[in-house]
Amino acid sequence: MTSILTNIAAMTALQTLRSIGSNMEETQARVSSGLRVAGAADNAAYWSIATTMRSDNMALSAVQDALGLGAAKVDTAYAAMDSAIEVVKEIKSKLVAATEEGIDKAKIQEELTQLQDQLRSIAESASFSGENWVAGEDAVEKSVVSGFVRAADDTVSVKTTTYTFNSAADGNVLFGHDGTDIDFAAGILGTAGAVSGTAVIDIELDDTMTPADIGEFLSDVETSLSAMTSAAAELGSISMRIGLQEDFVSKLTDSIDSGVGRLVDADMNEESTRLKALQTQQQLAIQSLSIANSSSEGILQLFR
């Protein structure tokens, strides 16, 4: 039936055109944003997971920065400890040379004084971001961020690695600290030796000393070297762990990005193909609507 009041064909064509237009808007939004799930209305479950994981990735990014800062502190301390070990080795060799008959101990003492001053300089310079890990107050703890964890119950926490200063002769710092300045009378190099009764930093030679006296110095220097080697090994272990954690966090961040992408990213090949098809459908729908509207014009011929 043909009616001048109700054009069913035109109404059907119009509904089809509206549906195609809606699909085109959705597809164009995906193409322009690159997201299949841009908001909770698109897929509440996926959007919620993606939002949470993106938040965790931001936290992991902060952890990466903290790991970098911690690594710099530890590496600075390790470099200082390693340099100090080399200087103490030189002190050891000078003491061995001083045991020779007829050696000018005053000349050797001049070299020892320069080496001892170098040890003080190393300790004073080994500071990063205001923290010095080779000249520390006894029993003070330092920590570096080592991880960010989300537990099964959705609670989150930041993990840290601690390093406790020990300013004894067999401790892990070159010198102590009184809270304001470096204490050169404490620590591995500042504490009096058990054999000679003299700290490595205070060793002084004179021509009255016998090889046995110098041997006592050598014994305490060897003990200090052992303690310094242990401290360097501890710092090296922390540095290795931080390096491993940095690598893991980097991979974890990439994995989370990839996982979130699988949930919410649009397949651009698919979306571009769909957009092209919808554009074709839209043109056909417009043509159908035009044909449906023109059919009613035939009624005018009856009145001519």
Give 210: exposed, middle or buried? Use CB within 10 Å, 0-12, 13-18, 19+. Answer: exposed
pLDDT digits (tens, 9 = 90+) for 92-133: 999 999 998 888 899 999 999 999 999 999 999 999 988 999
User: How many angstroms separate the CA atoms of 92 and 89, rounded?
Assistant: 5
CB 77 within 8 A of CB 172: no
Pair 191, 272 in one domain: no
- 141 and 247 belong to one structural domain: yes
Under the banding of pLDDT at 50, 70 and 90, the label for residue 3 is: low
Is residue 256 within 8 Å of 50, Cβ to Cβ?
no
pLDDT at residue 226, as a whole number? 97
- Whether the pLDDT of residue 282 is over 90: the answer is no
Residues 86 and 208 in one domain: yes
Interval 242-270 mean pLDDT: 87
Predicted TM-score (pTM) of this structure: 0.77
Paired tokens of 106: 């005053």
Q: pLDDT digit string (tens) for 125-163?
A: 999 988 999 999 999 999 888 777 877 787 778 888 889
Q: Is residue 41 part of a domain?
A: no
Assess contact for 125 and 113: CB atoms under 8 A. Answer: no
Residue 85: inside a domain: yes
Domain count for the chain = 2
Same domain, 275 and 242: no
Question: Tell me, what CATH number does 228's domain have?
Answer: 1.20.1330.10
222 and 75 in a common domain: yes
185 lies in some domain: yes
Residue 246 is part of which domain span? 66-264
